[in-house]
Amino acid sequence: MKRDFLTVMDLSSNELNILLKRSIDFKKGIDANKCPLIGKSIGLLFEKASTRTRISFEVGIYQLGAQAIYMNPKEIQIGRGETLHDTAKVMSRYLHGVIIRTFSHKTLEEFARYSSVPVINGLSDKHHPCQALADLMTILEKKGTLEGIKLAFVGDGNNVANSLIEASSIAKIKMKIACPKGYEPAPDVLKRANGYVEVLNDPLKAVENADVVYTDVWVSMGQEKEALMKRKKFKKYQINKKILERAKKDAIVLHCMPAHRGEEITDEVMDGPQSVVFDQAENRLHTQKALLEFLMS
């Protein structure tokens, strides 16, 4: 029976631990010559521009022995009105899995409903579960544990925040989110948090004594019309030296990137000794390799 990965909640606690352990093994070079997906073809259907998601998936697919086929909707028939239903069924005849990066999460769910091969969420407006896997791996790598870690997320309660909430509830991370009123994470996601997440409006309180400080852009792709308004509302939610001083001295700083330096994070913090954002970006490759192997081998 095929498995999809549309949200972090598609994994059990045990499966999440297995994936993280396998990711660390991949990073160490264990089974570096093993090609569990040899002879397979995996599609990447991207409505949104990408740097880390596209490159890490294409490289990971190649390293696992498979072939990556990148598809822009404008270059295939879905861009001329072919239905998701028909597209999913046809692609299932050619491919062994599909990674989709899209705007609407409903598009992803509909495609997965008609696909007979695994579908992976490379990003949607509501969830970014592949990013959350890399985030957990980075925290585990730097802190040696996940359970009981205090994670502060400062900024917009967006798709990254939603997936972090789900990941935190499974991994038993204590998470605090600081965002302006009206920009809280999705209510249905918060309901599933099992008491591991607290939503605040004060970034200083959220960061207090944190082991991990995380931020993301204030204006996501597709929100450009709201840019000026959001920058005004989020001004006090910037991760800078003053805010970081409220966290533990050995706190690490995460950012899923791309970063709008000078907005949600300063250069001083982004390039500072507590920043592990480039390790975090690299870990996208390792966690996605583990996920591809888990779903498609």
Q: Which helix (H) or strand (E) holds 296?
A: helix 277-296
* Helices marked H in 3-157: 13-28, 52-63, 84-94, 105-114, 129-143
Q: Which of 127, 131, 238, 280 is catalytic?
A: 131
216 is catalytic: yes
128 is catalytic: yes
80 is catalytic: no
- Tokens describing residue 42: 């995996």
The CA-based dihedral angle spanning residues 228, 229, 231, 232, taken in that order and rounded to the nearest 10 degrees: 120
Q: Which of 52, 96, 284, 286 is catalytic?
A: 284
Q: Which of 22, 52, 105, 128 is catalytic?
A: 128
C-alpha distances (whole Å) from 127 to each of 109, 113, 164, 201, 272 are 12, 17, 9, 22, 29
Inter-residue contact 230 to 179 (CB < 8 Å): no
Q: Which of 96, 101, 105, 255 is catalytic?
A: 101
What are the beta bridge partners of residue 121?
A: 100
Inter-residue contact 139 to 212 (CB < 8 Å): yes
Q: Which of 4, 125, 135, 216 is catalytic?
A: 216
C-alpha distances (whole Å) from 20 to each of 25, 33, 86, 141 are 9, 19, 35, 10
CA 202 – CA 25 distance, rounded (Å)? 39
Q: How many CB atoms lie within 10 A of CB 177?
A: 28
250 is catalytic: no
**Which of 261, 256, 258, 260 has the alpha carbon at shortest distance from 280?**
256
DSSP 65: T
DSSP 239: B
Q: Which of 256, 280, 286, 288 is catalytic?
A: 256
Q: How many CB atoms lie within 10 A of CB 93?
A: 8
Residues catalogued as catalytic: 101, 128, 131, 216, 256, 284
